[in-house]
């Protein structure tokens, strides 16, 4: 919680800057983990339902937090099919949080987005945050690796040699994510797509700190993306279909 607190609070503040609670306060936090983010949204006046793996929601500490903060828990062990979301009525959620999750999806997500579309209310909003592929210190700028033919993203050495259980499968640019939701449905309208500054405390010193501050002054090079995607109406549905 301490490490990620600034990310949680910054995301909530950025969202609330363009959202009035009169539009609705029913929130679904997908990938809620230990409910740290969910607690902040609940205290800000939202009614939160949290989704995560059963192994997380079976923890007594998580269950205690949920009871104390009136957060409903929905265990989901298969996000691809997301059949656990069947329990949520159509058009019953005003805001869906999908924060720091999209970069980890290793399956075709169309079925999942059909569930999201079904439960999101017309005029509701999907909030997506994710690392910016074009961050000044990101993988896009490893020129020598690119020229040697070793691509971008997490390196093979990192995949095989690092026990993180959270490899980034795919990082995106701002324009890629706008297109992502346009392809899913014409009913989705990206109303906010911005890069935001580093969430985490700066530990760099000397020239590296100077370079970091200078780079973050350029919006396109900031390390994180924040997108708000509104569901303007429910007319055409999810139009993208996998090609197999």
Check residue 175 and give its pLDDT. 95
Check residue 166 and give its pLDDT. 61
Higher-pLDDT residue of 209 and 127 is 127
d(CA 47, CA 38): 9
Check residue 204 and give its pLDDT. 61
Q: Residue 228 is encoded by which pair of tokens?
A: 């708000």
Handedness of CA 115, 117, 92, 63 (dihedral sign): positive
- Per-residue confidence band for 176, with pLDDT thresholds at 50, 70 and 90: very high
Query: What is the secondary structure of 100-117 as a DSSP string?
Result: T-GGG--S--HHHHHHHH
Residue spans per domain, the chain: 5-231
Tell me how far CA of residue 162 lies from CA of 155, 157, 165, 166, in angstroms: 10, 8, 8, 10
Check residue 242 and give its pLDDT. 85
Helices H / strands E in the chain, number of each: 9, 7
Check residue 73 and give its pLDDT. 98
Contact 41, 18 (CB under 8 A): no
pTM summary value: 0.91
Check residue 164 and give its pLDDT. 59
Query: pLDDT for 31-69, tens place per residue?
Result: 999 999 999 999 999 999 999 999 999 999 999 999 999
- Per-residue confidence band for 22, with pLDDT thresholds at 50, 70 and 90: very high
Check residue 12 and give its pLDDT. 98
Nearest to 73 by CA among 111, 28, 117, 128: 28
152-188 residues labelled b (16+ CB within 10 A) or e (exposed) = ebbeeeeeeeeeeeeebeebbebeebbebbeebbebb
CATH code linked to domain 5-231: 3.40.50.150
Residues 6+ apart with CB under 8 A from 148: none
Tell me how far CA of residue 191 lies from CA of 159, 162, 221, in angstroms: 35, 37, 20
How many Cα atoms within 13 Å fall on the side-chain side of residue 144?
0
């Amino acid at each position: 919680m301490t490490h990620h607190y600034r990310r949680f609070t910054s995301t909530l503040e950025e969202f609330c800057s363009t959202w009035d609670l009169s539009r609705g306060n029913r929130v679904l936090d997908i990938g809620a983990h230990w409910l740290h983010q969910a607690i902040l949204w609940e205290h800000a006046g939202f009614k939160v339902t949290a989704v995560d793996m059963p192994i997380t929601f079976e923890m007594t500490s998580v269950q205690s937090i949920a009871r104390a903060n009136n957060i409903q828990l929905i265990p989901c062990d298969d996000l691809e099919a997301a059949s656990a979301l069947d329990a949520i009525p159509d058009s019953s959620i005003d805001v869906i949080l999908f924060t720091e999750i999209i970069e980890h999806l290793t399956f075709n997500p169309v079925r999942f987005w059909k569930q999201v579309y079904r439960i999101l209310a017309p005029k509701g909003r999907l909030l997506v945050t994710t690392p910016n592929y074009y961050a000044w210190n990101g993988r896009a700028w490893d020129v020598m690796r690119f020229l040697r033919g070793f691509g971008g993203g997490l390196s093979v050495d990192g995949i095989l040699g690092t026990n993180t259980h959270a490899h980034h499968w795919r990082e995106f640019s701002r324009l890629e994510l706008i297109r992502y939701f346009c392809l899913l449905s014409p009913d989705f309208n990206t109303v906010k797509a911005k890069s935001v500054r580093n969430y985490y405390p700066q530990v760099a010193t000397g020239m590296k700190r100077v370079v970091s501050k200078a780079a973050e002054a350029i919006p396109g090079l900031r390390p994180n993306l924040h997108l708000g995607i509104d569901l303007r109406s429910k007319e055409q549905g999810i139009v993208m279909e996998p090609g197999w």
